[in-house]
Amino acid sequence: MQIQVHTDHNIDGHEKLAAWVSDVLEQALLGVSDRISRVEVHLTDENSAAKTGANDMRCVMEAKLDGRPPLAVTEHADTIHNAIIAGSDKLSRLIDHTLERVSDRSAAPHRW
């Protein structure tokens, strides 16, 4: 599973942040990582560094599952770390739900 981290100019996108994001995602997606080819993470400070506000940090995560259209989630939080953690949990639930639906459809008998 390849993980790409993109930040806007208001967020310090250093290697330490990218490594931490990768660790969080690898843990959150542990059970399904073999079904995911790529995860892109986009981190944005919506109010810029000059202003502060409630839930102004945005994390968008898009996962590309093998043979499926991409799945994406968006999470807003007061800190970038909280947005990443909540976003990874949300992405994990979405992927689990999607794979369960696919599994249920393939196991269901065809009705003619």
Of these ranges, 49-53, 76-80, 99-103, the one predicted with the greatest mean pLDDT is 76-80
> Considering the entire predicted model, what is its pTM?
0.85
The lowest-confidence range among 64-68, 98-102, 106-110 is 106-110
62 pLDDT more than 70: yes
One-letter identity of residue 11: I
- Within a domain: 112: no
Give the CATH number for residue 50: 3.30.160.100
- Within a domain: 76: yes
50 pLDDT more than 90: no
Residue 62 CA to chain centroid, in angstroms?
5
Residue-by-residue DSSP string for 68-112 = S--EEEEEEESSHHHHHHHHHHHHHHHHHHHHHHHHHHHHSPP--
The predicted structure's pLDDT at residue 34? 93
E-assigned strands of 1-112? 2-7, 36-45, 57-65, 71-77
- Within a domain: 18: yes
Q: 25 is in which domain, residue-wise?
A: 2-107
- Within a domain: 19: yes
- Within a domain: 45: yes
- Within a domain: 36: yes
| Partner residues linked to 39 by β-bridges | 3, 63
- Contact between 33 and 25 under an 8 Å Cβ cutoff? The reply is no
Structure tokens at 38: 């790529």
- Within a domain: 81: yes
38 pLDDT more than 90: yes
Q: Specify the 3-state DSSP secondary structure of 37.
A: strand
**The total number of structural domains that make up the chain:** 1
Q: Rounded mean pLDDT of 59-69? A: 94
- Split at pLDDT 50, 70, 90, the class of 52 is low
